[in-house]
Structure 1
Amino acid sequence: MNYKTAIVWVAACAMLILFLVGAVGGSMVKMPGKSHRGPLPPLTPEEKRLSERLREHVLVLAGQIGERNLVNYHGLQDAAQYVGDRLRESGLKVNEQSVLIEGRTVVNLEGVLEGKAAPDEIVIIGAHYDSAPGTPGANDNATGVAALLELARAFAKAQPERTLRFVAFTNEEPPHFQGDTMGSMIYARRCRERGEKIVAMLSLETMGCYSDQRGSQHYPAPLDRFYPDTGNFIAFVGNVQSRELVRRAIGTFRKSTRFPSEGVAAPETLTGIGWSDQWSFWQVGYPGIMITDTAPFRYPHYHHPSDTPEKVDYDKLSRVVTGLDHVVTELVRK
């Protein structure tokens, strides 16, 4: 190959790569509707009350209880008791899936609302209640659990067409992460073994950090080509197989909620895409998405002892949970 031919070949390859990145990127990131821009509206009275209830949950889980995992087993037990009690107080029937891990019993907690029109079609709202070793886990993931509890409270008296489950998972964090002892993996496999028809799984994960400063948001390549560098949005994240669920959820959120939002449906091998309990459902063929502030790509206290309750923006979390109420309402319709 001579010099000129080599130059032409390299240029052609470069153009092909750019074309493929653009094509794949477009299918991954193009979402219905538009993200909210500009000032946020004042909180409604109900959003203010919701903000305080979310704060109370996080203060108990990450303040009073603190670290909760098999290393701090009493904390894990106390967290499970708290979550189960709150689900029952909402009026939900609560089932416990107990498993023995490293000689200790851990539980997934499941609050159930039976569907009226299509009870065999199931929507799952999930969040893990354990924390990583060495951290009280306020944002990761007491915020997700708080959101779960408040959504359960909001829907407890509803009559959904599809069955709605609120599931608090154990053992999401290392060393169980993406392994056989991960609570959501144990749960998802049981769903598959029973032949259950899960039509949507939403994982509520690390949801309380927001910033209007430029440069506050980071991404794994090549997502930095397509998204803003200001970390003021909530993200809807799925794998390619779950892209219709991503689009449906963020489309509903954008129609109903004046709060910034971004969405992506990407290969699960891309860094960060599978970093929560939705990953377990993907492994057994169910559609699932993660609702997140993007965790370590924005939050500097991720998996650190400094992940404490005062770091959470409860008012913005309240806005997000209010928007997710609309998303769940739409998903449980037949």
Structure 2
Amino acid sequence: MFRRKSIITVLATGMFLSTGVVYAQTNGAPNVQADTAFDNKVIKKINAENMYNTIKYLSAVPREAGTEGEVRGVEYIEGQFKSLGLETRRFPFPIYDYKTNRELAEVDGVDLKGHAFSGSASGKVTAELVNVGKAIAGTVPDDVKGKIALVERGEITFVEKVKNVAAKGAAGVLMYNSSSNGNNFGQANEEIPAVAITQAQGKELVDRLKNGPVEATLDVDIERIEKTSYVVEAKLKPNKNKDTGQIVTIGAHHDSVPNGPGANDDASGVSAVLELARILVNTPIDTEVRFLTFGSEERGMMGSSFYVSQLPQSDIDRMVAHFQMDMIGGAEAGEDHPLGGLIMYTIDGQKNLVTDLGASASSRMYDVAVPYGQLGRSDHQPFHDVGIPSALFIHSPVEPQYHKPTDTIEHISKEKLQQAVSIVGASAYQIVRPDTPALDRAHVSPASVEYKFEDRPVD
């Protein structure tokens, strides 16, 4: 097995060394010509028109998680996988919407006009306020027990802040903004009542606490509404006589934002997953490939997190690379960066097997090595967290239509689709093709290329 390696060191022996993994060369030099020939087996079959038609179908109806639109998309994706003869499975998982029936935050009888967190626990509590700053783990004082924690927004997620004060026995949370942009935050975790207030209100309470105790009342009634979202998985198995025992996963998310067509975000990624499935199903391989589409990415990678959480450890141990595609068709994305702004983001900002292969493939096909950067916010996160080399392929910065009703088929570039899928397809094929028995015993290697880190914001 190989794990989390970076193909960057060339030894005098004529071998690529990647922290314990050696990639053989032919005649003392990378066999780039052989790689290109193998690339062509996959790349020449990619049809951007197929992908465009998939995007057109999926983006005709918003696919918000837990809605009929998501089900429509899932049924289409399932049907496409099944038509290819793939072993296809739908994984349902629960998600929750919240209806606020009552939200009240009072200090000395004055209503602060706060907003209850989506997912706040219901309940009424009156207690002293305790200023706990940003509620970072290890900084929450013990005297918050039985009291209401006054928390400043920033640095860590809302859920983490609530968890940290609840772990110390806090009875409620009053969280104020770190900027002047309103007081409507994200989702809590149903542990204790949690209400958001403005920055000005929070700072005033911080000052008041310096002069003595302050009593507050939180009164929250949140109704939880359970819905169902889905992950779709399709397995492509190799010939049993040539099976390396390894697994490569290729994914995208099929949900969109509420009322959003989601043509680029992320029907484009789904179209690529389906297109690669269509090609690889008729291509000799020696490694299992799992094609995945995730629901509820827009709710915080819930689908991919669910999928990874239910995997047996034996599967995780066999997974050697995860390729995630999100927003790979935006005509107006990427500004003037090379390759339309395509970049590979990793969670830790470090190179890994996926980025090495991506840079090598793009260099062979387009004479430009795709750069890498650091970013979460997509479904490569859960795979990285369990030790699987992972990267997000995306055009960055994103287009003006991002998360808007204008994210429609008219703003999709077939050229960018072709380009991104060619690079991801060639990269994945480098692992799954039969002449690379398990990569660590390969006779044909990707060329070692220089590719740079870019601190490029996605939006």
TM over 0.5: yes
Q: 1:57 aligns with which of 54, 57, 71?
A: 54
**Residues 310, 289 of structure 1: alpha-carbon distance in 2 compared, 3 angstrom cutoff:** same
Amino acid at match of 2:395: D
Question: Structure 2 matches for 1:125-144, cutoff 5 A?
Answer: 125-144=250-269
| Distance (whole Å) between structure 1 residues aligned to residue 339 and residue 415 of structure 2 | 16
Alignment check: 8 A CA contact 2:305 2:382 kept: yes
Unaligned runs of 5+ in 1: 1-32, 34-45, 218-227, 267-272
Question: Structure 2 matches for 1:1-334, cutoff 5 A?
Answer: 50-63=47-60, 66-70=61-65, 73-102=67-96, 103-116=226-239, 117-173=242-298, 176-178=299-301, 182-191=302-311, 193=313, 195-196=315-316, 197-210=318-331, 216=335, 228=337, 232-240=340-348, 243-258=351-366, 262-266=370-374, 273-294=375-396, 297-332=397-432, 333=436, 334=438
| Distance (whole Å) between structure 2 residues aligned to residue 62 and residue 321 of structure 1 | 19
Shift of 1:241: 7.5
Partner of 2:216: none
Secondary structure of the residue that 2:311 maps to in structure 1?
helix
**Residues 302, 188 of structure 1: alpha-carbon distance in 2 compared, 3 angstrom cutoff:** same
Shift of 1:317: 1.0
Alignment check: 8 A CA contact 1:140 1:303 kept: yes
- The answer to which of 51-60 and 316-325 deviates more is 316-325
Q: Deviations over 1:281-301 (max 9, x none)?
A: 12222221001112xx23111
Larger radius of gyration: 2
| Distance (whole Å) between structure 1 residues aligned to residue 46 and residue 323 of structure 2 | 24
Shift of 1:193: 4.5
Q: Deviations over 1:258-279 (max 9, x none)?
A: 275532254xxxxxx1121001
**Residues 191, 263 of structure 1: alpha-carbon distance in 2 compared, 3 angstrom cutoff:** farther
Shift of 1:51: 1.8
Amino acid at match of 2:321: A
Amino acid at match of 2:427: V
Shift of 1:254: 2.2
Secondary structure of the residue that 1:262 maps to in structure 2?
coil
Q: Which has the higher helix share?
A: 1
Alignment check: 8 A CA contact 1:47 1:319 kept: no
| Distance (whole Å) between structure 1 residues aligned to residue 379 and residue 248 of structure 2 | 14
- Provide the alpha-carbon RMSD of the alignment: 2.8
Alignment check: 8 A CA contact 1:259 1:320 kept: no
Alignment check: 8 A CA contact 1:111 1:166 kept: yes
Amino acid at match of 1:67: P
**Residues 80, 191 of structure 1: alpha-carbon distance in 2 compared, 3 angstrom cutoff:** same
| Distance (whole Å) between structure 2 residues aligned to residue 158 and residue 48 of structure 1 | 11
Shift of 1:177: 0.8
Alignment check: 8 A CA contact 1:99 1:107 kept: yes
Q: Which has the higher strand share?
A: 2
Amino acid at match of 1:138: A
**Residues 74, 308 of structure 1: alpha-carbon distance in 2 compared, 3 angstrom cutoff:** same
| Distance (whole Å) between structure 1 residues aligned to residue 308 and residue 349 of structure 2 | 17
Alignment check: 8 A CA contact 1:120 1:162 kept: yes
**Residues 261, 233 of structure 1: alpha-carbon distance in 2 compared, 3 angstrom cutoff:** farther
- With normalisation by structure 2, the TM-score equals 0.53
Alignment check: 8 A CA contact 2:46 2:279 kept: no
Q: Deviations over 1:39-98 (max 9, x none)?
A: xxxxxxx879712111100100002xx211236x11000000001101111221112222
Percent identity between matched residues is 26
Amino acid at match of 1:68: R
Amino acid at match of 2:261: P
**Residues 259, 319 of structure 1: alpha-carbon distance in 2 compared, 3 angstrom cutoff:** farther
| Distance (whole Å) between structure 1 residues aligned to residue 362 and residue 65 of structure 2 | 39
Secondary structure of the residue that 2:305 maps to in structure 1?
helix
Aligned residue-pair number: 263
Q: Deviations over 1:182-238 (max 9, x none)?
A: 0000011122555532110111100012459xx926xxxxxxxxxx4x672321221
Shift of 1:256: 3.5
| Distance (whole Å) between structure 2 residues aligned to residue 237 and residue 298 of structure 1 | 14
